[in-house]
Chains A and B, each alone.
Chain A
Amino acid sequence: MIETINLTKRYGSFTALNDLNLKIEKGTVFGFVGHNGAGKSTTFSILATLLAPTSGAAFVNGYNVSTEAKEVRNHIGYMPDFFGVYDQFKTVEYLDFYGASYGISPAERQILIPQLLELVNLSNKSDVYVDLLSRGMKQRLCLARSLIHDPEVLILDEPASGLDPRARIEMREILKELKNMGKTILISSHILPELAEMCDEIGVITNGELVASGSVADIQEQLQANKIINVKLASDLEKAVLFFEDHHRVSTVTKNPNRDMLSFAFTGNDEEQIALLKKALDHGLAILSFSQEESNLEDVFLEITKGVDFA
């Protein structure tokens, strides 16, 4: 559905995007994670036919963005990170204009526009001037606009940026609905836990290079050398600390006497983790719980981008 092959964009001596290789299958929600200036918007602009790549190729639905730009435009719904609206249009007129731009007949538009406004919870604002809408409403209206021609691919550049928590939740719910409709969605965001919740796959980009790509679980497994293990004991906390400190795969044991808990970093694989638990039980430790700490996407992002120069 979306594929990039050695996609590169240079501005003089500055490389904004370097040999990006991506393959996003139909119906996938792909989250693009990266710091500001990492190359996310550059990638999105190329895919939306707004920017010519320096080298490499990008395909949307099998159409080359460089040579078949018109076909690509018919298959994508694009929402930029920053956008404006025609302030003298009413909400309905705004959508009507874009519907007409995509060649949708007036009769179809009359049916389609109320449905889209309902999808983005703006039915009660249909007769309001766009300029008078709040930022969150404008974001939702822009999303409705990107859906007007029922595109198979949605390219959403930070759709939740600058929104208050309620507006973010509303946006997230709409995106979940779009995911259920089978749309292929390429989305970037700084709200990383939200991406983890709704994305099937994520790609981490830093300084124009894709440093990790795959499912959230895969990336966590690939890139997290240290697992954090939390242990809750019924008694003998000191004895347990001495036991775990003695293990060659364990480091940084910290105890919490108030809660009879300890935690440590563990570098072994799953089998070694099972063996460690068995050995601890054999050692006579009264273990109530033994669990690996779930790290969120934010931790993964920080881990991956550790040491990257963001300047």
Chain B
Amino acid sequence: MKSLWINPVLNKEIKLRFRSFKSFLGVFFYLFALGGIAIGFILINTVFSYSSTAIFRPEQSRTMFMVLSFVQMALVLFMTPGLTSGVISGERERQTLNILLTTPQTSTSIILSKLFSSIAYLLLMMVASLPLYSIVFLFGGVSPSLLFQIFGLYFVTMLTIGSIGVFFSTVIRKTIVATIITYGITLFFTVGTAFLTIISMQFSAFQNVNQTSVFPYITSVFNPFIILLNSFEEGLSNEINNASGIAFPLTAAFIIAFLLISFVCLFISIKKLRPNMKEKKGEA
């Protein structure tokens, strides 16, 4: 197990990723965007406010936390496919993959190292953004446990979207195609499932009150934004639970579903990285 966590491929990936100037620029623009939104929000509610008092109140602080959380989730969803969908196909295009595959490094170690190094970079961005969240704590209105919960959701989301990116990077030869498909799936998880949830909820509203449908529950489970919103508004969870007749907590279902997707994607990636060397029976 130790060899999985501390292995040459992971060392190499982290060294190459963090040595690049692009990585520095990535962190810079990430914080610039997030910081700009936080400061803009405070300015709108104080300096540019119509209120004569211009005080930043705890309830506004909570709203700012929500805004920051949603923006951060959007950035995670935007950056993860870009960081992971080229990890294997990029090596293939650079013609370095074949050499790597002739080393005794296991497919599991190569795939997980690629994923973990990408997640490590995203985690660096998350950690770097923590001082921005300290503004929220300065004004109050948000509990630390909620912050941990939100960061837990980010982690599960980046792990799953990252695994999907690695999967397509492994099974598709061209990075550009793998990237487009990964972004497509991410878009479906965000916009597609949200749209389907709204439609199905509306449809349920027209039906008999006693009649339930699992459809809104299923579509909600795959939407990170709905789950994030659920962390702030517990009433949303109750509404979906009532409409579907499923009492199982929405956030727990999201974590299970996403981790399952991640596991399947990584399992197939590990199997597909190297050719199946077992002799094919029955073929001439």
Q: Which residues of A contact B (CB under 8 A)?
A: 8, 10, 45, 48-55, 57, 65-67, 69-70, 73-74, 76, 78, 80, 82-86, 88-89, 93, 97-98, 100-103, 142, 145
Contact flag A51-B105 (CB < 8 Å), given A82-B95, A88-B19, A97-B12 = no
**B-side contacts of A66, CB under 8 Å:** 277-279
The answer to whether A80 and B280 touch across the interface, beta carbons within 8 angstroms, is no
**B-side contacts of A50, CB under 8 Å:** 98, 101-102, 274-275
* A103–B276 CA distance with the chains assembled, in angstroms: 24
**A-side contacts of B102, CB under 8 Å:** 48-50, 73, 76, 78
**A-side contacts of B15, CB under 8 Å:** 93
The answer to whether A78 and B99 touch across the interface, beta carbons within 8 angstroms, is yes
Pick the 6 closest A-B CB pairs, nearest first: A100-B8, A84-B95, A84-B94, A101-B103, A52-B275, A66-B277
Chain B interface SS verdict (over half): loop
The answer to whether A100 and B11 touch across the interface, beta carbons within 8 angstroms, is yes
Cross-chain pairs A/B with CB under 8 angstroms, 14 sampled: A10-B283, A48-B98, A52-B275, A52-B280, A54-B283, A55-B280, A70-B104, A73-B104, A74-B104, A76-B102, A83-B95, A84-B95, A93-B15, A97-B8
Closest to A54 in B: B283
Query: Does B202 sit within 8 A of A, measured CB to CB?
Result: no
**A-side contacts of B103, CB under 8 Å:** 73, 98, 101-102
**A-side contacts of B100, CB under 8 Å:** 101
**A-side contacts of B94, CB under 8 Å:** 84
**B-side contacts of A93, CB under 8 Å:** 15
Q: Scoring B residues 242 to 284 as 1 if CB is less than 8 Å from chain A, else 0, what string do you get?
A: 0000000000000000000000000000000011111110011
**B-side contacts of A10, CB under 8 Å:** 283
**A-side contacts of B101, CB under 8 Å:** 49-50
Minimum Cβ distance to chain A for residue B121 (Å): 15
Minimum Cβ distance to chain A for residue B4 (Å): 14
What count of chain B residues pass the 8 Å CB interface test?
28
The answer to whether B9 and A88 touch across the interface, beta carbons within 8 angstroms, is no
The answer to whether B277 and A80 touch across the interface, beta carbons within 8 angstroms, is no
**A-side contacts of B20, CB under 8 Å:** 88
Query: Does B96 sit within 8 A of A, measured CB to CB?
Result: yes
Minimum Cβ distance to chain B for residue A104 (Å): 10
Minimum Cβ distance to chain B for residue A31 (Å): 21
- Give B55-104 interface residues, CB cut-off 8 Å to A: 94-96, 98-104
- Give B1-28 interface residues, CB cut-off 8 Å to A: 8-9, 11-12, 15-16, 19-20
Contact flag A85-B284 (CB < 8 Å), given A49-B102, A52-B277 = no
The answer to whether B95 and A86 touch across the interface, beta carbons within 8 angstroms, is no
Please indicate which of the listed interface residues A51, A57, A65 has the most CB atoms of chain B within 10 Å of its own CB: A51
* A78–B104 CA distance with the chains assembled, in angstroms: 12
Other A-B pairs, 20, CB within 8 Å; known A84-B94, A101-B8: A45-B98, A49-B102, A50-B98, A50-B101, A50-B274, A52-B275, A52-B277, A54-B284, A55-B280, A65-B277, A66-B278, A67-B277, A73-B102, A73-B103, A88-B16, A88-B19, A88-B20, A89-B16, A97-B11, A101-B105
